[in-house]
């Protein structure tokens, strides 16, 4: 039954503790009459039950936790087959034949009567593992949509009528979502470890759409055009969104991620103090079949900060060419990113080659081929933003009173901006 020692493509899974312990009990416990050995098997079963319930809490799984766990192993295992299925899929060849060999083993594990294990330990516990009711709708490891897709895949694999159908469901999942953390998550941050940069998933992403950002149609279209070219494999530029605070620069990039995620777009957020890890991050993603935006929010440099020189080399100018599947998107309140003093242009500062100094500071911004301006709205545009947001949110207030209150609010809360308008509407909702 399910000899995981014979796995080929998915061989790394044979060392998974939960899988290994349960399969050992499956294969040996029923015919075992040794009391000491049975006691050892019981210990492994209870430990496995604990781990399955722990995974259910982490991932938000329910119903058949054993099959959910097997599915989780399959969708997370990065190997030569699963990576080949990313985005483009695979329909034939030796690689598929080898994967089918492994899928036969997993299909046996899916079909195993888990209640047999319960006879060794506690049948009621086994039944609860097979029909687990989660406490709430939460899950910390995946967003709800991906969690539900994994649970749906688990049900399909269980009901598959043939090994070919079993394989088709897995391949279709890989092609739609990818594999491992880079496939199953939209956004990532970077953590610096002793062995280098670690790309860490961000699970709680705001579901912002471009239509949620009122106005800025020209700016949004410019961002869409550049991103669509990128995800479609055409030439695209690094992109700088600059302008006044609270005008929707960061929200636009979040919305772009949500819009193009299913076409293979991923975002990795990185801060300027992490620029030392940029090459390491790019090395980890350059051979994957996803399109990666390295996102730098609120990017700017003071005169004494020299990290911008390192960024310039990474963007364009280093010996190693930037991979085709990587772009850099940045937001900033500064058009030229690096603080300049009037002394850089007028008067004597001790720098003999003043023109060179100015050009060096301007050259970073020039390496973003697309620059998009987000300016503060005027009074009329601000009122329109308030009106639209209030209507969407169900605020019940006469329009004249709404606009008077909005004008009063912006005078005391940051001025005319989309952010101020949203904060005002949130304030009204709180009062309701």
Q: Which residue has the tokens 């910390």?
A: 140
pLDDT at 266: 94
3-state secondary structure of 26: helix
- Split at pLDDT 50, 70, 90, the class of 352 is very low
pLDDT band for position 359 (cuts 50, 70, 90): low
Any bridge partners for residue 267, and if so which?
A: 187, 293
Question: Rounded CA gap, 229 and 231, in Å?
Answer: 6
Q: pLDDT category, 335, cuts 50, 70, 90? A: low
Mean pLDDT of 29-49: 74
Quick: pLDDT tens for 411-424. 888 788 888 888 88
SS3 97: helix
pLDDT-derived band at 393 (thresholds 50, 70, 90) equals confident
pLDDT of residue 45: 83
Least confident of 141-150, 276-285, 325-334, 348-357: 348-357
Q: List phi, psi (to 5°) of 131.
A: -140, 60
Token pair listed for 387: 């009106």
- What is the tens place of the pLDDT at every residue in 82-91? 998 886 677 7
Flag whether pLDDT at 367 surpasses 90. Answer: no
**Is the pLDDT score of 278 beyond 70?**
yes
pLDDT classification of 141: cutoffs 50, 70, 90: low
- Rounded to an integer, what distance in angstroms lies between the CA atom of residue 266 and that of residue 185? 8
> pLDDT tens-digit profile of 172-188?
999 888 899 888 888 99
Retrieve residue 304's tokens. Answer: 């004494």
**pLDDT tier for residue 28 given thresholds of 50, 70 and 90:** confident
The predicted pLDDT at position 110 comes to: 92
Sheet holding 265-269, edge to edge: 196-202, 187-193, 265-269, 291-296, 326-332, 239-243, 370-374
- Higher-confidence residue of 118 and 189: namely 189
Q: How far apart are CA 24 and CA 65, in angstroms?
A: 18
Check whether 339 has a pLDDT greater than 60.
no
* Amino acid 356: pLDDT: 46
**Average of per-residue pLDDT across 404-408:** 87
pLDDT over threshold 90, residue 36 = no
What average pLDDT does this structure show over 106-119?
82
Q: Residue 398: is its pLDDT beyond 90?
A: no
- Average of per-residue pLDDT across 164-178: 91
Per-residue pLDDT at 301: 64
Average pLDDT over residues 298-321: 64
pLDDT category at 232 given cuts 50, 70, 90 is very high
Residue 370 φ/ψ, nearest 5 degrees: -115, 125
Share the mean pLDDT of the chain: 82
Provide the pLDDT for residue 73.
95
The predicted model scores a pTM of 0.78
Neighbour-count burial of 303, counting CB atoms closer than 10 A to its CB (0-12 exposed, 13-18 middle, 19+ buried): exposed
Q: Provide the token pair at 7.
A: 């796995």
Average pLDDT over residues 94-110: 93
Q: Which of 276, 374, 260 is nearest to 327 (CA)?
A: 260
Q: What is the secondary structure of 142-163 as a DSSP string?
A: S-HHHHHHHHHHHHHHHH-SSH
- What percentage of the chain has pLDDT greater than the value 70? 81
Q: Which residue has the higher pLDDT, 314 or 356?
A: 314
- By CB atoms closer than 10 A (0-12, 13-18, 19+), residue 207 is exposed
Q: Summarize pLDDT for 54-77 with one digit per residue, the tens.
A: 888 888 888 889 999 999 999 999
CA-based end-to-end distance of the chain: 61
Query: Are β-strands 326-332 and 291-296 bridged in parallel, bridged antiparallel, or unpaired?
Result: parallel
């Amino acid at each position: 039954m399910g000899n995981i020692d014979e796995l080929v493509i998915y061989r790394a899974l044979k060392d998974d503790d939960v899988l290994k312990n349960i399969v050992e009990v499956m294969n040996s416990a029923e015919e075992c009459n040794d009391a000491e050995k049975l006691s050892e098997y019981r210990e492994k079963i209870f430990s496995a039950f604990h781990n399955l319930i722990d995974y259910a809490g982490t991932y938000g799984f329910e119903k058949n936790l054993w099959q959910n766990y097997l599915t989780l192993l399959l969708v997370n295992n990065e190997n030569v087959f699963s990576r080949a299925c990313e985005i483009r899929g695979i329909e034939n060849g030796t690689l598929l034949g080898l994967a089918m060999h492994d899928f036969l083993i997993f299909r046996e594990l899916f079909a195993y009567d888990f209640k047999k294990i319960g006879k060794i330990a506690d049948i009621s516990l086994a039944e609860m593992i097979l029909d687990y009711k989660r406490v709430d709708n939460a899950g910390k490891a995946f967003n709800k949509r991906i969690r539900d897709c994994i649970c749906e895949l688990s049900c399909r694999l269980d009901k598959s009528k043939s090994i070919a159908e079993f394989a088709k469901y897995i391949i279709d999942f890989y092609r739609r979502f990818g594999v491992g953390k880079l496939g199953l998550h939209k956004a990532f941050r970077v953590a610096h470890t002793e062995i280098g940069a670690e790309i860490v998933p961000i699970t709680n992403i705001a579901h912002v759409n471009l239509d949620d950002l009122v106005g800025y149609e020209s700016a949004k279209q410019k961002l869409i055009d550049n991103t669509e070219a990128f995800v479609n494999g055409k030439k695209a530029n690094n992109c700088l969104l600059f302008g006044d605070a609270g005008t929707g620069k960061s929200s636009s990039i979040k919305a772009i991620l949500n819009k193009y995620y299913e076409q293979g777009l991923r975002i990795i957020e990185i801060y300027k103090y992490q620029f030392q890890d940029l090459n390491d991050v790019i090395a980890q993603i350059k051979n994957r079949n996803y399109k990666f935006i390295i996102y730098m929010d609120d990017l700017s440099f003071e005169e004494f900060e020299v990290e911008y020189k390192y960024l310039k080399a990474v963007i364009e100018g280093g010996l190693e060419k930037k991979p085709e599947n990587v772009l850099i998107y940045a937001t900033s309140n500064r058009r030229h990113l690096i603080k300049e003093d009037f002394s850089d242009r007028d008067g004597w500062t001790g720098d003999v080659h003043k023109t060179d100094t100015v050009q060096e500071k301007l050259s970073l911004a020039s390496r973003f081929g697309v620059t998009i301006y987000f300016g503060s709205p005027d009074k009329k545009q601000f009122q329109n933003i308030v009106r639209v947001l209030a209507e969407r949110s169900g605020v019940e207030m006469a329009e004249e009173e709404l606009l008077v209150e909005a004008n009063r609010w912006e005078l005391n809360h940051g001025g005319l901006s989309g952010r101020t308008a949203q904060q005002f509407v949130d304030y009204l909702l709180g009062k309701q």
